[in-house]
Structures are given as C-alpha cells and as structure tokens.
Chain A
Amino acid sequence: MSLLALSNITIRYGRLTAVRNVAFNLIEGEILFITGPNGAGKSSLLRAIAGVTPPSSGRIDFGGQDITGRTPEDIARMGVSMVPEGREVFGSLTIQENLMVGTGMHAREGNWRSRAAAELEAVYETFPILKERRHSQAGLLSGGQQQMLVIGRALMTNPRLIAIDEPSLGLAPNITDQVYERLIALRRHRALTLLIVEQSSTRAQMVGGRMILMRGGEVLLDGDARAMGQSEAMQAAYFGYGDH
C-alpha cells in the first residue's frame, strides 16, 4: 500500500504554472529522489504536500486519507515532516528549543518534557554536535550544523515521512556525505520513508533508490536512480536544459 499518493497535481501561481499534472505513489519505507533543474517545480510540489500552498487541482493522499487542502499543522500531525529549502531554523531559539517545537503536538502540557526526553536523546545520539551546543542560539550555527538541526527537528515529530528540500545546498561535500550517512542510517532504524529533492542526480545515483526527474513542471522520468544514470533519456533530459 502506498503511503503517499499524488494524482494529477497542478500548481499555479497567478498565470504561471509551476507543476502540471504530476502523479506518483510512494511506498512505505521507500526512498525517493526528485531531481531536476531550477524551476522544475520540485519545491512547489513539496510545499503542496506539506499543505503550505495547496495544489490548484489534483488530489494528495497520505496514509489512505485525502489531505488535499488540509492545513500544514494537520498534515504534520498525520506524520509528514517537512524540511524546507534554506534550513529555516528558528534563529533566536536555542538548539534544544528548536528541537522541542515539533514535539508539542503529541503531548499534553504536563508530560511534555518527559515524553520528549527520549526523542531528544536519540537525536543527540545521531547528531552529537547538537548536544554539545544545545544551549546556543540556532542562528549562530554553521550551515552544516543547521542542516543537522532541521533534520533532527523533523525527526522529533516522530514522522512516517520526511520530505527534505535540497539537503546538500550550500554544504561542503564532506558535510553532505555526513548528512546523507545519517539519513540512510535513520531510515534503516526507524522504517522511515524519505522524499528528497535535489537539483543534481549524482547524489541519488550514489545513494540508490527511486528517482523522479522533473522539468518544466512535469515528470520526465521515473525509475531506479542507478539504472537511470546510465540511460540516454536521462542524458537527453539534462542536455535539454543548461543553455543558460
């Protein structure tokens, strides 16, 4: 059974159509990369799934329920955790506070802290640097640390699906490696489903899993990332773009 199902999703901003008739399914436990050039509509798609900008038409199901047009907080509470582009940390909050924001939804005021403590420990175990600096302001962290923080923060909500927009953006390659290493490990540990948006397909080919290639708001290719790397269609898709 698919965890996430998109059918005929179209997203318009005024007269501009960002996403046109996109449809795909995501199976529980799967790892899916969405790649494609700038302006392909990848981020718009993620924002639609998270409920931030609902699609103009089409339908999104999550865990068997229709979530089209639901509010972001409802969708988050159903188990979709979103790591948007640009690492939106809460700069004035401390690291620990950042991590705690998303834990409120599963707890009452009284037992909130104690219930979150175990999760917190788990995240600190995954990203020890966060524990070390847990009382400093998140705005002061480096880019890589912020990326770890937002992933950790997403994990704290105990999600079934994590959707990450450009985890490697602005990070040094070795930091990116670390981030992915953790993600893969987490997926194994927690039976997480991952939806990762990346501009380049190289990372997808390294990690493996399924990949969707988008361009101009439409899905061009959908298949196994490693197999696709060799295909001619893939080359063509990329050469079609890049004259700028």
Chain B
Amino acid sequence: MQTLFDALSLGSLYALGALGIALIFGVMRLVNFAHGDVISFSVFALLWPSTDAVALVFAGDLPWFLLIPFVLLMGAGLSVLCELIIFRRFRGANPATMMIASFALGFVIRYFLLMLFSSRPKSISLLPALSQPVEILGARIPLLQVITIVATIAILFALTAFLKRTRFGLEMRAAAENFTMARMLGVRANRVIMGAFALSGALAAAIGLILASQTGTADIQMGGAVMLMAFIATVIGGLGSLPGAVLAGFLLGAASVVMQTLLPIDARPFRDAFVYGAVILVLIFRPQGLIAAPGTKERV
C-alpha cells in the first residue's frame, strides 16, 4: 500500500517531466535538454537574487492560490522566451544541432542562476502545511505525496481535456504527429510550437514546485536528475506519444521504487544499474516505444 503510493508519487514526477519533453519533441523533434534548467529556474523565481546561504523569499510566501499560478507562469514564460529567442532559429535544423543548442541554453540558464544565487543549495519552505502525514487506508502517508499524485492526475486530466476538446489541443496533437501536414491544413506553426513550449514550461514549473516542497531545497542542478529520467521515459514511451510518455514515466518510477524495496542491501546501491538495464531491454524489444501511434514513422 505504502509502496504503491511511493511508486505513484515518484512516477508522477517522471510522468510530468516526460510529458513536457514529449510535447516539444512532438512538434519540433527537439530533445530539449534545457528542460531541467527550466525546472530549477521556476523554483528560483520564488527567491530574491542573493548569494547568501539563507534564501530570501520573494514570491514564495504568497498564498497557494497565487503561488501556484505564479510559478507556472514563470516556467511557461521562460520556456516561451527560449523558443522566441533561440529555438525559432533552429527550426528544421538537424536533431543533433538542436539538442546541443538546447544543452548550451540550459548551460546558460544554469550559470545565470549561479551568478545570481551562487552554487550553494538554498533551503526554502514552500507550502509547509503539506509536510504533515495523513492517514489513508491504514497507512500514514505524507500529505505532499497524496497531493503530488492527485495533482498529477488532475494535470493529466486537464491536459487530456485540453488536447481533446479544444481546437488548439487538436492542432497540437496533429502537429505533434505530422507537423508539415498540419501546416498544410492551415495550422500555424509558430503558435502551436509556442503553445507547446508554454505547456511544457508550465509542466516543468509544476515539477519544480513539487520538488521544492518535497525536498525543501532550491539547487541550481535540481532539475537534472528528473529530466534525465523523463527523457528516457519519453523515448521508451514511444516518440511523440503523449500517453506513452506518461505511462513510461510511471513505469520508471515504479521500477525504481520496487527495486529499492526488493533488492538486498548490498545490491541496493546498484539500483540504477538495474533500472537502466531494464530500459535497454525495453528498447530492444520495443524500439518503437511502448505506445507507438499507428501509422507514424520515426522521423529522427
């Protein structure tokens, strides 16, 4: 029971991350290595620039109903800015070039944060009320874990509704699958890509918020680990497949938690080696991903 919650909450983070990467990958075949730095940025947006060890909270003290939109907006804003200034110039460049450009961009964001905030991890208390345990079905579970899972599910539902019900969502899904065809049907490329970046940035901010409330830390490298897992989830989920990304994210989280639980103590530090081994196996048996959209072909 408890393990299930553990797996779900870790999986939620990976799923949200994978979704953010898959959205952008879908519309412009960009593996966005700056995603992790957008996560960190959204958290630091809550603080005043300072190189002291004690975090000077700026927007972090807002009540939650203002705090959450603020963070999401920061993530979306930065992401859109990246697209406007940088990625627009790389439309149609080969994937390796775009990838390295995104990596360089992430590098710039990271060191920009370092310049303002120093490399020392800062401690912040976000939404402290969430650090209390609650009783669910006989298990005492941190409230934050519950909220993480619920929020992820809510985000997933909202996103699904957005993608299914609205015109913009429909255009985005069409563009993710076949960008040129969508344009030939009058779908505006810039708008869709910008929308994808905004959504992806907001998702990154959501992860940042969850991570920061969970760990109580703002670290310029905090987004990196989640992004790597999310990146892997995107690929094993099936390229450009949003449901696949989510499914794979949850599976990776579950694999990680289950292995931590089942492996003997001596093998536990090697947990990640087992997880990555499993990733290789999945890739070999399903190179097209867990959920490959019918009729799509790899365009990388």
Known: A71-B189, A97-B170, A109-B168. A90 touches B183 (CB 8 A): no
Partner of B186, one of A52, A77, A109: A77
Complex contact B181–A73 (CB within 8 A): no
B167 contacts A by Cβ under 8 Å: yes
Complex contact B296–A92 (CB within 8 A): yes
B295 contacts A by Cβ under 8 Å: yes
Nearest-neighbour CB distance to chain A for B177, whole angstroms, equals: 5
A88 contacts B by Cβ under 8 Å: yes
B187 and chain A: residue at smallest CB distance: A73
Complex contact B186–A105 (CB within 8 A): yes
Nearest-neighbour CB distance to chain A for B253, whole angstroms, equals: 24
Nearest-neighbour CB distance to chain B for A116, whole angstroms, equals: 9
Kindly list chain B residues whose C-beta atoms are within 8 Å of the C-beta of A101. 170-171, 174, 182, 185, 187
Nearest-neighbour CB distance to chain A for B203, whole angstroms, equals: 20
- Range of interface residues on chain A? 20 to 34
Within 8 A of A (CB), among B110-142: none
B241 contacts A by Cβ under 8 Å: yes
User: Per-position contact with A for B183-212: 1 when CB-CB < 8 Å, else 0?
Assistant: 111111100000000000000000000000
A217 contacts B by Cβ under 8 Å: no
Partner of A76, one of B167, B170, B184, B294: B184
Complex contact B184–A93 (CB within 8 A): no
Tell me, in angstroms, the Cα distance from A84 to B186 when the chains sit together.
14
Kindly list chain A residues whose C-beta atoms are within 8 Å of the C-beta of B168. 104, 109
Complex contact A52–B184 (CB within 8 A): yes
Complex contact B180–A112 (CB within 8 A): no
Segment of A31-39, A123-131, A133-141, A197-205 engaged in the interface with chain B: A133-141
Interface residues, chain A, CB within 8 Å of chain B? 50, 52, 71-73, 76-77, 81-82, 84, 88-93, 97-98, 100-102, 104-105, 107, 109, 112, 137-140, 153-154, 157
